[in-house]
Amino acid sequence: MVHSSLKSIGYVAGGPDTVIDALMEAVGEDGLLMMPTFTPDVVRNVSSIPFNHKKSASTTGIITETFRLRANTLRSRHPTHSVAVWGKDAPWYIEHHNETTGPFDYGTPIFRFIEKGGYILLIGVTHNRNSSIHVAESLLNPSYLNVKRFKDDKDYYLIETEQGAIIRMPVGNRRSGHSGNFDIIEELSEVKNVQKECFLGSATVKLMKGQNLINILLPVLSQNPAFLLCKSEDCYSCSERRKRLK
């Protein structure tokens, strides 16, 4: 599972395609490559553009958008938190990830990748972009999971079908909150022991096994469910989630 920033690397001959080619070569056809292709604005009131899983551009960086458009790459149908996958068993990872499921619940692509022993690769980004951490939240199932990210977020998705029809679907009670404080996990000595670091150009690269990270986070969150929440009063999501916990 790759989270990335191309510009953090510096100049790359061939741009994002070069990075993707290297990653595909590294995992091989017997492995799997997954990237986030998130479109969170689908539920923002400032946006009236329906989600189309074949057309809607990824907002998580040029590497992910280039990967999404590659031949033989598949994309899940979740309106706000879709992923693109390539490699062995790719269809299985995304088969149930759509508007009827939570982004990171049991059976979703990132959950399955962790369950199968997958690794998280952060290229030039920090844990604030590490979506796998949300899986730990879903497993713990705190009372705050149905809180909106922004106060004016809509309670429904607009989805464009393959036939061109626009349908409206309820978001439900499983949302993804603010990840701005996720770098706090660096304070856990166990995390430092399970992640490897190096440089790729100017970018810091971190690699860790997803299940190891979840195993570290679950007992911490069990004792302090607010551990991952930021303390900014301007953050609607984290402020409301703290109220729910109280």
Is the sign of the CA dihedral 46, 83, 125, 57 positive or negative?
Answer: negative
- The predicted-structure confidence for 47-75, as pLDDT tens digits, reads as follows 678 999 999 999 999 999 999 999 999 99
- The predicted-structure confidence for 198-223, as pLDDT tens digits, reads as follows 999 999 999 999 999 999 999 999 99
Q: What is the mean pLDDT of the chain?
A: 92
12: exposed, middle or buried (Cβ count in 10 Å: 0-12, 13-18, 19+): middle
- The predicted-structure confidence for 157-180, as pLDDT tens digits, reads as follows 889 988 889 998 888 766 777 888
Q: Where are the domains of the chain?
A: 2-39+56-145+179-245
Q: What are phi and psi of 27, to 5 degrees?
A: -85, -30
The residue type at 127:
H
Q: pTM to 2 decimals?
A: 0.93
